[in-house]
Amino acid sequence: MRNRRLLSDLIWPLVVFGALAVVPKLDFSIPKLFDQPISSPGTLALLSACVLYGAFALTYDLQFGFTGLLSFGHALYIALGAYLSDIAITDWHWSFWPAIALTMGVAFVLANVLGFVSLRVGGIAFAMVTLAFAQAGAVLALKDPHHWTHGEEGLGADYTKLPQAFVGIVNTKNLYWLALGFLAVVFFLVRWAVDSSPGRVWQAIRENEQRVEVLGLRPRAYKLQAFVLSSTLAAAGGIVYMLLYNGATLAVTEPNFTLTLLLMVVIGGAGSRWGAVLGGILYTYLNDRLIAIGNSSTVQGFPHVLRTPIEQPLFLLGIAFILIVVFLPGGLAGLVVRGRTSGLRRIEAAVRPEVDPA
Amino acid sequence: MSTFFLLTVTGLGLGAMYFLIASGLSLIYGLMGVLNFAHGAFITVGSYSTWWTSVHVFDGIHSVLLRWLLSSLLGLVFGGVFAALVELVLIRPLYTRHIEQVLVTVGLSLAFVALVTGIWGPDAKTFAVPTWLHDTTDIAGARIPNDRWIEIATAAAVLALLQLFLRKTRYGLIIRAGVENRAMVQALGIDVRKAFTLVFAIGGIAAAVAGVLSGVYFNTVSPDQGTSLLIFAFIVVVIGGLGSIGGSAVAAVAVGLAQQYTNYYASAGVGDMIVVLLLGLVLLARPRGLAGAVVGARA
């Protein structure tokens, strides 16, 4: 039994991450899957994005799939990580590490404050409140009252202040390894947190919050823990995003960004670590490739009625998402792991709107 | 003083749209426990079918007013039918599976915006309305655009109609009872599911009205207009108290006014912040919203 856990918790992840780590060294191409050779900067940039979004999806799954918190405002913390580190470096001319320290500190405090307020309500109301906070952040970044974020232009990072190993196309490999390293850290942290004793309480809250309360524990304090951990990790991912894309743009602040994370997690399998990561990777890959397919000559030859939907990746992914929610609530992970109550069904209790007065 | 009056009327006009969206959201949540993310799509169905029919169907009619009224009417019909279809096809099969119902509406809203963008492009379309709507009238020294009155009057009329419907008709009674205690209504042998489709249709029509009015207010319609209005409607619903029409009306007015005043007297964008701050304060003081009964108990 012990050996089996060791295998699933340590050996398998190490094997997978190890295999992913040698990807930049692969010098051949896979014609249908990627336009360019694997080790080319273009393909590596796409793979870095896939890996980073896998990590984002996992941080979201920590509060959604494992704790039952349906947040529509996760993007706020990713945006905070990307923008604040960028602003400190570019607008305030800080050096790299102090900027990172500041960003992580602010993210931790903000997650505590906003989490405290929004966890006053539960279920669906929590979703709406987190959405409102995220919207406030999006407006702030757009209107840019202090001329820090540069509004719609986005804020390109001052590359002279960044670690030189992460600057420029020649270093795409390093950026890929950075994203992969971040994913591995998040993966093992989530693994450790979920298995710790507070982590067990999070999952108990997801299944039945009232029972946790009856046991004499205070669910709100535990929910806040999960929320803060997940949000702070998201902010750290935001910093990786800033390095990967050499700056921050409004796209990370938008409410739709959180919704796409939700799509990734549900497609992969909520409450499953591999599921969330796979969902994030697959979604990001498809989102990129579907645009290429939409522009291909085959599709351009289709009649208008057929071509229009195919050219919109979000339309296809949205429909796929609906089908998965209806027919496969366990997501892709539910295909592999059978016999358990799967993904979404376990979160049901956490969002159910009423306890019928008996 | 005249600026203050103008801001007040404009804030009320904005609040009117928030109310039209929030009332449907609130009723749907109150009765069924579904946070309907697809409500933004209903707004878009209303505004786009109004725009499309006025350009492609009623383009033979010379009177702009008549063309606008006819196409708006069709817009409302489409909004209501679309909403009812969403309930029948997507929500009903997932009965009692709340998280999946919410997620399906999320997926629908994303896919729908993408589809509309794919078909008609991401750019805003000009919305043809009678010119006198955009003229101004001098009242108390302020030059008030005429369309503000239409928005306020329409929302007031919808509020009155909704209250009449909820208080005076049998279905209104069932809906009110269902919001109060759905299990009991079912135990009395009443098929609540018909009421589900009905509130979706009503919510869809109200959202389509908001879509038409937003076309008038902003002069244009665009694919993501629905979503951005929806976010403020969510705030209104939480401040007002989920399930309460009256609460939504009060909160919509408060949010619309607060937004306008601060956007003018402080600076653009601050108004949106103030609204979120207001939401935070209401949650700290009264987690159940202004009308107060529902949210906390359902957490």
Token pair listed for B270 = 């601050």
At A39, the amino acid letter reads S
Query: Does a structural domain hold residue A298?
Result: no
**In this prediction, what percent of chain B has a pLDDT beyond 90?**
49
- Taken as a whole, chain B contains a residue count of 299
Any idea of the CA torsion for A285, A287, A288, A291, to the nearest 10 degrees?
140
Token pair listed for B147 = 């369309």
| Residue B58 belongs to domain with CATH number | 1.10.3470
Residue A322 and residue B98: Cβ atoms within 8 Å? no
Neighbours of B167 (CB within 10 A): 10
User: How many domains does chain A divide into?
Assistant: 1
Query: Does a structural domain hold residue A158?
Result: yes
| A92 burial level (CB within 10 Å; 0-12, 13-18, 19+) | exposed
Model pTM score: 0.91
Give the separation between CA A130 and CA A114, rounded to whole angstroms: 8
Query: Does B267 have pLDDT greater than 90?
Result: no
Query: Does B292 have pLDDT greater than 80?
Result: no
Domain that holds residue A247: 12-255
pLDDT band at B296 (very low <50, low <70, confident <90, very high): very low
Query: Does B22 have pLDDT greater than 80?
Result: yes
Residues of A in Cβ contact (< 8 Å) with B299: 121-123, 125-126
Q: Which of A96-110, B55-69, B208-222 has the lowest mean pLDDT?
A: B55-69
Query: Does a structural domain hold residue A44?
Result: yes
Query: Does B224 have pLDDT greater than 90?
Result: no
pLDDT tens profile A2-27: 677 777 778 888 999 999 999 888 88
Domain that holds residue B205: 2-298
Query: Does a structural domain hold residue A198?
Result: yes
pLDDT at residue A303 in the model:
80
Ranges under pLDDT 70 in chain A: 1-2, 338-342, 352-358
Give the separation between CA B99 and CA A206, rounded to whole angstroms: 12
Token pair listed for A19 = 């295999």
Residue A325 and residue B104: Cβ atoms within 8 Å? yes
Query: Does a structural domain hold residue A236?
Result: yes
Identify the H or E element spanning A55.
helix A41-64
pLDDT at residue A225 in the model:
96
Query: Does a structural domain hold residue A51?
Result: yes
Tell me the β-bridge partners of B126. B220
Shortest Cα distance, chain B CAs vs residue A52, angstroms: 22
Give the separation between CA A79 and CA A95, rounded to whole angstroms: 20
Residue of chain A with shortest Cα separation from B120: A308
Query: Does B297 have pLDDT greater than 60?
Result: no
Those residues whose C-beta lies under 8 Å from the C-beta of residue A298, and which sit 6 or more positions away, are: none
pLDDT at residue B192 in the model:
85
Tell me the β-bridge partners of B220. B126
Largest CA distance in chain A: 66
| Rounded mean pLDDT, B94-118 | 91
Give the separation between CA B299 and CA B289, rounded to whole angstroms: 13
Q: Report the residue from A129, A353, A356 with minimal CB separation from B238.
A: A129
**In this prediction, what percent of chain B has a pLDDT beyond 70?**
97
Token pair listed for B109 = 């809203």
pLDDT tens profile A203-217: 999 988 889 999 999
Query: Does a structural domain hold residue A314?
Result: no
Give the separation between CA A117 and CA A120, rounded to whole angstroms: 6
Residues of B in Cβ contact (< 8 Å) with A145: 267, 269-270
Q: Report the residue from A259, A314, A348 with minimal CB separation from B99.
A: A348
DSSP letter assigned to residue A91: T
Supply the mean pLDDT for chain B: 88
**Interface test mutation site (partner A, options B26, B36, B94, B99, max chain A beta carbons within 10 A):** B99
Of residues A136, A117, A135, the one with CA closest to residue A126: A117
Query: Does B2 have pLDDT greater than 60?
Result: yes
pLDDT tens profile B145-161: 888 899 999 999 999 99
pLDDT at residue B248 in the model:
92
Give the separation between CA B224 and CA B230, rounded to whole angstroms: 10
Query: Does a structural domain hold residue A268?
Result: no
Residues of A in Cβ contact (< 8 Å) with B295: 121, 125
pLDDT at residue B128 in the model:
79
User: How many domains does chain B divide into?
Assistant: 1
